[in-house]
């Protein structure tokens, strides 16, 4: 079910598009890609099926590890204030709460009233940490952290994969594990199940950058 929220209101007609931060939904993306590739290139169907099966197994393990890690954080501390509103489906799946996001869907800067409202929410809910992007430093999140005492974590990855082409950690699952570990630990949870997870898939990476 699509999510409409503060960044993507229902009257705008465009739901939050960030399904990929929810592992089961990311697996559904991969299923669609597999099916299309098999349809257009049936002679290599077995390779596509095998690659999907390998990825699906890793996604299931990542999902289970994140579920275990989430259980180490009390429900009242599973609070997300991020730079970009990318975790609506993640939050619904793992029983977290998205308090807000700094960057609206219009990409405008938040107004002083918006910032004041967020500061008030962070104080009332006692949000332990606020999360920025390594690509988009946010003076607003820094301000919120200063005025509320919440830790400002500015290393979440948006779509910049770790490592480079050919590296075992140059993958969606490595990006998501990095973000999940960062969030779990910042909120006082135990991320060892995530850290100990083998998420590598040894398939040839022929990507060329920049894309």
pLDDT at 145 over 90: yes
Distances, alpha carbon 61 to alpha carbons 58, 125, 159, 200, in Å: 5, 31, 21, 12
Alpha carbon 180 to its chain centroid, in Å, reads 7
Q: What is the pTM of this model?
A: 0.88
Alpha carbons 9 and 47: distance in angstroms, whole number: 41
Percent of the chain with pLDDT strictly greater than 70: 86
Least confident of 101-110, 133-142, 173-182: 101-110
Angle at 159 between CA 137 and CA 110, to 5 degrees: 40
Tokens of 38: 């098999």
Give the confidence band of 210 by pLDDT, cuts at 50, 70, 90. Answer: low
pLDDT at 118 over 60: yes
CA dihedral defined by 67, 9, 135, 26, rounded to 10 degrees? 40
pLDDT at 164 over 60: yes
Residue 67 vs residue 134, higher pLDDT: 67
Report the CATH architecture of 20-195. Answer: 3-Layer(aba) Sandwich (3.40)
pLDDT at 209 over 80: no
State residue 45's pLDDT score: 96
Residue with tokens 């890609």: 33
Mean pLDDT, range 145-167, rounded to an integer:
88
State residue 133's pLDDT score: 83
Q: Rg of the chain's alpha carbons, rounded to an integer? A: 18
Alpha carbons 193 and 209: distance in angstroms, whole number: 32
């Amino acid at each position: 079910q699509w999510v409409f929220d503060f960044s993507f209101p229902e009257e705008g007609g465009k739901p939050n598009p960030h399904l990929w931060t929810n592992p089961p939904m990311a697996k559904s993306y991969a299923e669609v890609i597999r099916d299309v590739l098999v349809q257009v290139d049936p002679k290599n169907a077995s390779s596509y099926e095998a690659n999907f099966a390998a990825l699906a197994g890793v996604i299931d393990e990542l999902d289970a590890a994140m579920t275990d890690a989430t259980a180490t954080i009390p429900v009242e501390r599973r609070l997300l204030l991020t730079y970009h509103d990318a975790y609506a489906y993640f939050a619904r799946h793992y029983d977290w709460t998205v308090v807000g996001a700094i960057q609206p869907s219009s990409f405008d800067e938040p107004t002083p009233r918006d910032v004041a409202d967020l500061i008030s929410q962070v104080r009332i809910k006692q949000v332990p940490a606020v999360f920025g992007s390594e690509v988009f430093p946010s003076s607003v999140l820094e301000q919120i952290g200063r005025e509320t005492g919440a830790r400002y974590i500015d290393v979440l990855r948006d779509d910049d994969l770790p490592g480079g082409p050919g590296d075992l950690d140059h993958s969606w699952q490595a990006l998501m594990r990095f973000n999940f570990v960062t969030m779990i630990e910042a909120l006082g949870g135990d991320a060892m199940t995530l850290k100990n997870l083998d998420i590598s898939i040894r398939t040839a990476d022929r990507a060329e950058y920049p894309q």
